[in-house]
Chains A and B, each alone.
Chain A
């Protein structure tokens, strides 16, 4: 029971908010519910694609493959490659920290790893989902800027940390 409460705490809070909202205005609450469900239905096909594509990448793009690519590349190419690889890795960032640490230990350049972490802000499988809400111009501009910034951040971080 306690576990259930903890696991679904967010869902329970939303449920409670709906109960409270009912007291204020039943008609508005009903409208909120309808709106929410329609948004969900509208997004569901893309969401299904997201999870399927993410799991495909997770299984068919092993850390070993990534390591191999990064071992070959050096210089600017390597950093850009790192940033691009960062965009296709999925999963919460903290789960990936150990992987990045392994890469560093195996001799990957700090700039490359930092660029990968920076570019992680782009979640490739989620791009069509984001565009559905914010429009393609917004999403594409953010995308390009984040990649450029990730590469710059990689170099900057390396420079700042190497000085001492």
Chain B
């Protein structure tokens, strides 16, 4: 699964760079260099996040996860995951493996979807910065809509996948 994804993705990247080289050699070099720098810059964090996930996997019992975001927790699990997703801030590279781990530990699809959606859609920590650029009304309205959207989308995702699995 991952291997196939990597191969297909590799081909896409190769094609885009072939196009890039045709258009501008110096800019393609710049792009490749920028990508390489990004890779080196993010690598320590990536290693740490995967090691942390390994630790979670071994040491956190399933019952704790189920207690908060497991089946039959209804509204509580929805709110918990939305609030958690809003507060945490970090690169998406850490969001997806964390979501997968939560699923494995017994969280519902709905809860994980809401958690991930609010992670990427609502920017709690950046609110002051957003206000400074767009003003209070825009910022609060946008984040409120995004928060509601994260929950709605997550519930629909859970419903659709739940139906499919049943």
Contacts and interface: CB of A to CB of B under 8 A. Distances in A.
Interface of A: 8, 10-11, 14-15, 17-18, 21, 24, 28-29, 31-37, 39-40, 42-43, 45-56, 58-60, 93-94, 97-98, 100-101, 114, 117-118, 120-123, 126, 128-134, 137-138, 141-142, 145-146, 149, 153, 156-157, 160-161
A62 B129 CA distance: 24
B20 A60 contact: yes
Contact of B157 (A118, A129, A141): A141
Interface of B: 1-3, 5-6, 8-10, 12-13, 16-17, 20, 23, 27, 30-32, 34-36, 38-39, 42, 44-55, 57-59, 92-93, 96-97, 99-100, 103, 109, 112-113, 116-117, 120-121, 123, 126, 129-130, 133-134, 137-138, 141-142, 145-146, 149, 152-153, 156-157, 160-161, 164
Contacts of B44: 8, 11
Given A47-B93, A118-B146, A40 B134 contact: no
Given A101-B134, A123-B120, A131-B5, A33 B32 contact: no
Contacts of A18: 51, 55
Nearest to A149: B149
Given A32-B58, A56-B20, A137 B96 contact: no
A132 B164 CA distance: 19
B31 A37 contact: no
A53 B13 contact: yes
A159 B97 CA distance: 37
Given A94-B129, A130-B96, A146 B39 contact: no
A49 B51 contact: no
23 contacts: A14-B52, A18-B55, A21-B55, A28-B59, A32-B51, A35-B58, A37-B51, A45-B3, A49-B6, A53-B13, A53-B16, A55-B31, A56-B20, A94-B126, A101-B134, A121-B121, A122-B120, A128-B5, A128-B9, A138-B109, A146-B149, A157-B138, A161-B137
B131 to A, nearest CB: 10
In the complex, the 10 A-B pairs of residues with the closest C-beta atoms, listed nearest first: A36-B54, A55-B35, A35-B54, A133-B100, A45-B6, A32-B54, A36-B51, A55-B34, A121-B120, A52-B35
Nearest to B90: A10
Contact of B35 (A43, A45, A54, A120): A54
A120 B57 CA distance: 30
B145 A36 contact: no
B5 A157 contact: no
A15 B126 CA distance: 28
Contact of A153 (B134, B149, B157): B149
B134 to A, nearest CB: 7
Residue of B113, B123, B126, B149 most packed against chain A (CB within 10 A): B149
A93 B51 contact: no
Contacts of A142: 113, 116-117, 153, 157
Nearest to A46: B6
A134 B95 CA distance: 11
Contact of A60 (B13, B31, B50, B152): B31
